[in-house]
Chain A
């Protein structure tokens, strides 16, 4: 007991002493821990609220109001794919140079983006499909796509041009203007938050879902959601905490305690939303969910986020923005291809695509097997998500006790076992709703328990991959790292069609109600789960090659610190104005 009291006393003194200034060897004062709780909590809760909105079959707005064919979303993905490849090149170059391009290049980029927007607007205003032979193969192919016709295809294609041009131009403008002041992870919150709030309101209030013709509903809905997506509100502040300290142990500490504690905001918000849904006349299918509940909750957390966002700092040892390494296109491309650890992660992601297109099992279980809503729903969701909290608080212990390789292999194998157990429960006792449901909830609980430590390890692995990239190339190349996706995405896109096409064969469509039919529900869940089991087992293989240990990481950080120190010194000697640098 006295030992415990002594420890508490020590902790109190430690926090009091280093409330404003960090201890030696550390970088984050305890006051910032408090700020992390408030800011990340609000940002995380706000971004989670936005998970209710999306132009995809999982969104209740689409499911109950737009009622679009399930495969239409895959068609839109395929239509957008070629332009994504082209626009990604420009995007990476802008982002990995932190928005600071040569004047000439910048002008060229603005010009291209303006052209894209003009083309996009013209396809929306005019019907370009009429320029083609209406009985020709091309138009027939477009007409054969689920939920689309040639007109809708052209307008959807043009919408993506408009979206890409708009987002691209904003990216250069705001990055350059705001990044030196707010850092690479937070700046976008400042320029996006107000238009995002407006769009969240419009999504619920514009009655696009009442358009009677399905193809028109598809392209107008796509345009509305594309505009909504122009403005981001991601979990930026939590991302910022990944680089809150160059000290690895401190980084883990921040991510294990204040960050996890901050997620409690989201728990409360989920609980409140679920209860509010329970009070709506048509529950999940009530449009007032999107008119009042979601916008109200989002705007509240968005406002809190903006109040606290300035108090969390990123501390990547890096040269000042003016002295940073200029990344040329091919250097970026080849730079990321040299990062072995990034290759491992991307290979894992590729294999993970085997489960793409499957329905969120927990949602099916809660809404279609148990038919939950209101408080019982939120309590069950909370119970399952709480399962991860106790082990999460012990993350530092687990991360000390086991290597990242061991943790990630354990993670994949437990996912495989869990999914196999759920599939077995549904297969053998699917007709007994309570028994099958209870087994599934227990398995979900166990899976959640064993998920949080690997998630923390995974985040730290990502941060380390960035540090290693910075050592290799002089910049983190977080955007150029998407080039791996150029190789994997084509395969992922195709593989990701397997499950949706199969679900369609079992009667699934975007109103999801075939899930009330027991036989279909079993097929729709079990078979994709088995795909996932195979995927998780295969995902073990790449991790066998992970050998990036603490010694290597510490050396990398030493090199980065030294580079920052030397370049800042040189800049000061040359009398240059410097900003955005950090020597650690």
Chain B
């Protein structure tokens, strides 16, 4: 009975006459014969072939797998005019990186201290002109990056999730980029590209507000808590960031995972790109200032910033997707008349319920007079409004139209 004509669960009455002495050897037509307790032909040869095949397969697999996983510390691609830095795999002990020439790690033989037994050497015949995306991804060691004069292009996502990165410095002769106190900008400072995740540690050290804890193997910085008498100073020097007045665009992921409580945006700001302020748990206050010629990110007082008002700047046109999502400390949100685009989930999870009470961005104030006017003027992404738990489902927060901006 062929497989095509007969299906697999149609029962057939089968009766086989199997003598007692044949129970271990009885062969069914169309199937291989049982071999129980029988030594096969060429037994030893088969064993040898079997073992050889296995050994070769395992050895090759281990070799290629280790090869695939074993990363060179620095990886580059040759591009027009020089090299593109494509990937950095930390040896576990590199804390500073200079991105100007192709680098390599040389070890000092006989030195058993892993923190000090290497030096990073530069090949000055091979300049780096480009830094690719995700060159550093989830690095926990690098604290400082220096960008050389010859680097022409840095992908905005080049240094993603670098938890220990405190400062990015740029050679002052670089014609394309610059830094202001460890934060990366384009040369004319119209785009804020990247503020390192652990920039607050740099600021805490700078203003001598750093305290450290250790378990012997590693150490970490302790936050100064609100009940500490130094907290006001800490909030001002470390937890507050002033975006310079020249900035028109805050880049993709520019501030994500930062540790800051207050941010001052310039009134000339036009674009907040996707994920720009993503997941900044302490971020409570977003202010806009009107002052001009503000170049320093250090907050010294509102008097130097000119008039200051709450929430997003007048003149802002673009709010990218997830721009402020997962910032539950934020409270007041005002969408000015000038906004033309709000990406999907722009303010997602900025509201939550605690003890039956709504906390966070519990309502959104909009300058436009009505919902119709707002929706006709602004391109809105899905779920741009935050939602909170309502019974077993989620509910959008209220949007209040035709609102005046709340006074500071």
Contacts and interface: CB of A to CB of B under 8 A. Distances in A.
Interface of A: 67, 69-71, 74-75, 78, 81-82, 85, 130, 133-135, 140-141, 143-146, 148-149, 211-216, 248-249, 252, 275, 278-279, 281, 325, 330-331, 333-335, 338, 340, 371, 374-376, 396, 399-405, 433-434, 457, 460, 468, 471-474, 486-487, 489-491, 493-494, 497, 501, 504-507, 509-511, 513-514, 516-518, 546-547, 549-556, 558-559, 562-563, 566-567
Contacts of B125: none
A516 B322 contact: yes
Looking at B34, B37, B89, B393, the one whose CB has the most chain A CB atoms below 10 A away is B34
Contact of A140 (B107, B137, B352): B107
A272 to B, nearest CB: 12
A333 B157 CA distance: 51
B32 interface: yes
Interface stretch (B68-76, B222-230, B301-309): B68-76
A213 B3 contact: no
Contacts of A513: 161, 278-279
Given A473-B34, A486-B57, A555-B28, A146 B12 contact: no
Contacts of B23: 559, 562-563, 566-567
Given A400-B9, A558-B16, A566-B23, 17 more contacts: A67-B138, A70-B138, A74-B69, A135-B108, A141-B66, A146-B89, A212-B219, A374-B392, A374-B394, A399-B7, A403-B7, A472-B35, A474-B36, A494-B61, A494-B64, A550-B12, A552-B28
Given A82-B58, A149-B92, A473 B35 contact: yes
Given A490-B61, A513-B279, A325 B134 contact: no
Contacts of A402: 7
Interface stretch (B110-118, B187-195, B259-267): B110-118
A84 to B, nearest CB: 10
B109 to A, nearest CB: 5
A71 to B, nearest CB: 6
B24 A551 contact: no
Contacts of A505: 134
B389 A212 contact: no
Contact of A472 (B34, B58, B65, B73): B34
Interface stretch (B47-55, B239-247, B286-294, B366-374): B47-55
Contact of A216 (B50, B112, B217): B217
B3 A546 contact: yes
B160 interface: yes
Nearest to B256: A513
A540 to B, nearest CB: 15
B66 A490 contact: no
Contacts of B54: 85, 486-487
A133 B107 CA distance: 11
A490 B32 CA distance: 29
A278 B392 contact: yes
Nearest to A135: B107
A82 B62 contact: yes
B40 A334 contact: yes
Given A400-B10, A497-B69, A135 B3 contact: no
Nearest to B50: A333
B61 A491 contact: yes
Contacts of A506: 134
B217 A509 contact: no
A141 B389 CA distance: 49
Nearest to B114: A134
Nearest to B257: A513
A69 B14 CA distance: 58
B7 A400 contact: yes
Nearest to A85: B58
Contacts of B9: 248-249, 252, 396, 399-400, 460, 550
Interface in B100-142: 107-114, 117-118, 133-134, 137-138, 140
Contact of A145 (B40, B62, B70): B70
Contact of A518 (B53, B138, B278, B321): B321
A357 B57 CA distance: 21
Looking at B8, B11, B34, B108, the one whose CB has the most chain A CB atoms below 10 A away is B8
Nearest to B13: A554
Contacts of B161: 509, 511, 513
B34 A474 contact: yes
Contacts of B278: 513, 516
A349 B207 CA distance: 60
Contacts of A504: 134, 137
**Chain B contact residues, majority secondary structure:** loop
30 contacts: A74-B69, A140-B91, A144-B70, A145-B70, A212-B217, A216-B217, A278-B392, A279-B389, A330-B43, A340-B32, A399-B7, A402-B7, A403-B4, A433-B344, A433-B381, A457-B8, A460-B9, A472-B34, A490-B57, A494-B65, A507-B157, A511-B161, A514-B160, A517-B157, A546-B3, A547-B30, A549-B8, A551-B1, A555-B31, A566-B20
Nearest to A475: B36
A135 B117 CA distance: 7
A78 B66 contact: yes
Given A74-B69, A78-B66, A501-B68, A550 B393 contact: no
B69 A78 contact: yes
Contact of B111 (A135, A146, A148): A135
Interface of B: 1-4, 6-12, 14-16, 18, 20, 23-24, 26, 28, 30-32, 34-37, 40, 43, 46-47, 50, 53-54, 57-58, 60-62, 64-66, 68-73, 89, 91-93, 107-114, 117-118, 133-134, 137-138, 140, 157, 160-161, 215, 217-220, 252-253, 274-275, 278-279, 321-322, 325, 344-345, 348-349, 352, 354, 381-383, 389, 392-394
A559 B14 CA distance: 11
A281 B388 CA distance: 11
Nearest to A510: B138
B73 A275 contact: no
A406 B221 CA distance: 63
Contacts of A400: 7, 9-10
Report, nearest first, the 9 A-B pairs whose CB atoms are least far apart.
A490-B61, A375-B392, A135-B107, A509-B138, A554-B14, A507-B134, A474-B36, A134-B112, A213-B218
A308 to B, nearest CB: 28
Given A433-B344, A473-B35, A505-B134, A374 B389 contact: yes
A549 B1 contact: yes
Contact of B89 (A78, A144, A340): A144
Given A511-B161, A551-B6, A212 B61 contact: no
Contact of A507 (B14, B160, B215, B219): B160
B11 A487 contact: no
Nearest to A129: B114
B65 A497 contact: yes
B23 to A, nearest CB: 5
Contacts of B137: 504, 507, 509
B73 A144 contact: yes
A249 B12 CA distance: 11
Nearest to A399: B9
A457 B133 CA distance: 46
Contact of A213 (B35, B65, B217, B252): B217
A507 B158 CA distance: 9
Contacts of A401: 7
Given A546-B3, A559-B16, A487 B68 contact: no
Contacts of A501: 68
A81 B3 contact: no
Contacts of A551: 1, 6, 12, 14
B137 to A, nearest CB: 6
Contact of B32 (A331, A460, A472, A547): A472
B275 A471 contact: no
Contacts of B34: 471-474, 559
A552 B31 contact: yes
Nearest to A488: B57
Nearest to B391: A375
